[in-house]
């Protein structure tokens, strides 16, 4: 199956308008990746998603599907050992690491991209799996019968205990940092996809590519159309690029919905500048 850019954007927009739980996480990530592919060929990648799901299911012994330890071992074994997915430690900042098609092609990527594949394979079994937005290092959480396991897809799906998480946190945030409940909190499908695309946006900004950065913000808005911070950022990005009508539309939508006094004043000032350039 091939899909045009317009068809892909419509599909993503439809997901964005729906409930978070209804978003096909890996499917949406593939659609975003396809926007950067001229052929729009999705079938080989969808077949791979089906394959890893089958392999994880086959790795769990009958009657053990609700055992959290068995789930964790099966998931890590299939993804890391069978399919050889690894974190890209050598070229971490390569934008390919956040494009799910290229991650599948290369079998390596960023923590959030690898986590999306792990979550897909787990949810295909009916397991409760979600991402956790651990500071600086995206991981996943499995739950079953009140038991939990936190896996690190970037490091071969290794299970992280409390001591591991505390050490990682201090490494990322400083020696005074301490674990808090929000470090274990689940992150929704929509926010996971925004996190994925934000990696590409930040790398574009570092490279001075304002057009690519604005494109990523626009893509984030397909899946998160009501995110006020993204609407404001879209207005700023497009104003800088001279895309005045797109900047106006984003800023007007932001102002209509925002209750942030300081943010609204800044947006109103920018909108006045943009409108003056339109006249």
pLDDT digits (tens, 9 = 90+) for 82-128: 999 999 999 999 999 999 999 999 999 999 999 999 999 999 999 99
276 pLDDT higher than 70? yes
Query: Based on the domain organization, do 43 and 117 belong to the same domain?
Result: yes
pLDDT band at 40 (very low <50, low <70, confident <90, very high): low
What is the pTM (predicted TM-score) of this model?
Answer: 0.95
User: Which residues form the domain of 269?
Assistant: 226-278
Pairing of the two strands 128-132 and 147-152: unpaired
Query: Are residues 53 and 164 located together in one domain of the fold?
Result: yes
In this structure, is residue 19 part of a structural domain? yes
Q: Which of 187, 207, 234 is the last residue of a domain?
A: 187
Q: Judge whether 122 and 56 are in contact, CB under 8 Å.
A: yes
Whether residue 203 is contained in a domain is answered as: no
Give domain status of residue 219, yes or no: no
On whether both 230 and 153 belong to a single domain, the answer is no
- What end-to-end distance do the CA atoms of the chain give, in Å? 45
Examine residue 72 and state whether it is found in any structural domain, yes or no. yes
Q: What is the largest CA-CA distance in the chain?
A: 70
Does residue 192 sit within a domain?
Answer: no
Q: 248 and 132: one domain?
A: no
Task: State both tokens at 173.
Answer: 């945030």
Q: Which position has the higher pLDDT, 36 or 62?
A: 36
Q: Which tokens in the block code for residue 89?
A: 């430690």
Q: How many alpha carbons lie under 13 Å from residue 45 in its C-beta half-sphere?
A: 27
Judged by average pLDDT, the poorest of 58-62, 70-74, 106-110, 252-256 is: 58-62
Tally the domains of the chain: 2
pLDDT of residue 1: 63
Question: How confident is the model over 189-246, as pLDDT tens digits?
Answer: 999 999 999 999 999 999 999 999 999 999 999 999 999 999 999 999 999 999 999 9
| CB-neighbour burial class of residue 138 (10 A; exposed 0-12, middle 13-18, buried 19+) | buried
Segment 57-73 shows an average pLDDT of: 90
Is residue 265 in a domain?
Answer: yes
Residues 45 and 153 placed together within one structural domain of the fold: yes
**Residue 88: inside a domain, yes or no?**
yes
Extract the tokens encoding 149.
């396991």
Considering the domain architecture, whether residues 105 and 159 belong to the same structural domain is answered as yes
């Amino acid at each position: 199956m091939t899909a045009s850019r317009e068809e892909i954007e419509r599909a993503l927009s439809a997901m964005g308008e729906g409930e978070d739980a209804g978003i096909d996480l890996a499917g949406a990530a593939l659609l975003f990746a396809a926007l950067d592919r001229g052929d729009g060929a999705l079938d080989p990648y969808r077949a791979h998603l089906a394959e890893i799901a089958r392999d994880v299911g086959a790795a769990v012994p009958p009657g053990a599907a609700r055992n959290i330890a068995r789930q964790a071992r099966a998931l890590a074994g299939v993804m890391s050992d069978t399919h050889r997915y690894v974190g890209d430690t050598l070229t971490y900042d390569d934008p390919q690491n956040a494009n799910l098609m290229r991650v599948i092609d290369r079998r390596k990527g960023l923590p959030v991209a690898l986590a999306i594949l792990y979550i897909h394979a787990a949810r295909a079994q009916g397991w409760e799996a979600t991402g956790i937005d651990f500071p600086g290092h995206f991981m996943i959480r499995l739950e079953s019968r009140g038991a939990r396991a936190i896996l690190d897809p970037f490091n071969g799906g290794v299970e992280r205990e409390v001591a591991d998480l505390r050490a990682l946190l201090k490494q990322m945030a400083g020696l005074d940092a301490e674990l808090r409940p929000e470090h274990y909190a689940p992150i929704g499908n929509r926010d996971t996809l925004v996190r994925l695309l934000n990696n590409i946006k930040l790398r574009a900004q570092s490279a001075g590519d304002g057009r690519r950065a604005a494109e990523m913000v626009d893509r984030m808005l397909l899946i998160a159309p009501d995110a006020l911070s993204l609407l404001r950022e879209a207005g700023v990005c497009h104003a800088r690029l001279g895309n005045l009508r797109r900047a106006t539309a984003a800023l007007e939508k932001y102002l209509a919905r925002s209750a942030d006094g300081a943010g609204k004043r800044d947006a109103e000032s920018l909108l006045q500048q943009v409108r003056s350039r339109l006249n």
